[in-house]
Structure 1
């Protein structure tokens, strides 16, 4: 990475640890409260605890980092020699994380460019990597932030969930729509649209929904180079199978990541989540 530009993001990017280390990215964790106990997002143990809590219908809430957490991350980057910082975050429609970063940026010792990607998971992660790659090539903070925004515009994220109930509980989808989906026994396909998690399609069976998820990913990928990620929560076998099929159908896949999501996203979608992120280059 360029020694003059630091990259900061949050734990909902679900970046592979080796990528974080390679680019020197600072990851600020969100917090998940499981039955009264606060845990940091982004760890496998937290995801496992989340799955158990949801299955037992225990109380689950999430919270953003406070501005002071970001302020300390920015100060640390400046102490390490950064002359500018690009702070790339999940959708402000989903979390107040972006707003906390904006507050902290006002008093940072060096200029901070805060980017609201309108995304989450590796859709956000690929934007972070774009900024990091630009910085490593010598871009300044404005140029690196522009690369992140460019990738955000190209990204699509599609999710299959077993039920809309968790989204309803978290206020991410209307009660009437969730209850209708349950009554009809449909399997929902979701998409990130304008920074929000929206119901894209309703499919009658899980197998058809997952097949449709695959088709949406392939359609958006096109025939050129593309970065792809497959996410899941407590559905590793399904994720591996989907990744294998996408790898066969997308010869232009430059990167193909498979990972379990953290607790912040998982709390709103529930076990059984299967997601496909597609970002043409």
Structure 2
């Protein structure tokens, strides 16, 4: 025993399926221990689904969209969080950092906080103010810090820093689904269809915000490519500053929900432009977000590699 050293607090990390982590990543982290992911329920017609990583749910969403069926999402119950928190506590984890979908988009954070107040170990609930891999990178940063033996406050700090630095770009091929879910006025969707608007959005202060509204698909795709490359370049420069190394690297997550052509184009352009300086990760836009965005959305998020060493092939 080393005198004078504070005993390490075992910290676990919890998130929800809106993060859109690749199923293989989620499975590996769960098996490694100290991690859990809570599914956000979604409803298609009168049927509720809780396993949003199930490929069958994705297929049902496509059919339901084509048929014009009602689709909604809801927050997990406080009981779902209680079960996960207590399971981690019984495994010997003494503190839990729970990172979730923006409170402006879902009541998930409220459910987490309700359960946290009753948990047998301290739980720090973090509103990522984001979604998809904007949230996912915060989760990855928290997990890396926890596995490195960081104190709870440092694990929280790592998550919050990633939340601040990750910038999401979100391409929406049409506005119909957003209008049906109440995210935008129906009148705006009508105008969008009339003028063939293909918006590019982000999440700012926890809310969906439109950056640009290109008209025609070709113009929107061209602009999305430009913005993603600009963001990756900015992120590489930021990693150079953070790491203190001669050259930085970025991790670029590109997600889609049946928008593969654009997602593959973005991946190819990033790799061609930056080579080994940018690691591209591909995964699916979470079904709980696709319910509101419809078919074809593509999301791109970049973070400095130094913030998420566990996702970097070099482990730097």
Q: What range is the shorter-chain TM-score in?
A: over 0.9
> Using the alignment, how far apart are the partners of 1:142 and 1:75 within structure 2?
20
Hey, what does 1:39 align to over in structure 2? 49
**Which stretch of the first structure deviates more once superposed, 185-194 or 149-158?**
185-194
Aligned mates of 2:138, 2:180 — CA distance in 1 = 29
C-alpha contact (below 8 Å) 1:10/1:28 kept by paired residues: yes
Query: Which region of structure 1 is more displaced relative to structure 2, 235-244 or 91-100?
Result: 235-244
**Count of aligned pairs between the two proteins:** 280
Deviation sequence 1:193-247 (CA, Å, 0-9, x none)? 1111122211122122122112212222223322211111112233222211112
Q: Contact 2:13/2:143 (CA < 8 Å) preserved in 1?
A: yes
TM-superposed CA distance for 1:175, in Å, is: 2.9
Alpha-carbon displacement from aligned partner over 1:180-199 (angstroms, at most 9, x marks no partner): 22222211111111111122
CA RMSD of aligned residues (A): 1.7
8 A Cα contact 2:228 2:266, kept in partner: no
- Indicate the SS of the match to 1:231: strand
Q: Which residue of 2 aligns with 1:275?
A: 299
Q: 1:241 & 1:176 partners in 2: Cα distance? A: 32
CA distance in 2, matches of 1:147, 1:255: 20
Shift of 1:263: 1.6
Residue pair 1:43, 1:262 contacting (<8 A) in 2 also: no
Deviates more, 1:231-240 or 1:251-260: 251-260
Please give the residue correspondences for 1:1-281 in structure 2 after superposition, counting only pairs within 5 Å. 4-20=10-26, 21-22=28-29, 23-24=32-33, 25-40=35-50, 41-221=52-232, 222=234, 223-224=236-237, 225-251=249-275, 253=277, 255-281=279-305
Gaps of at least 5 residues in structure 2 are 1-7, 238-248, 306-316
More strand by share: 1
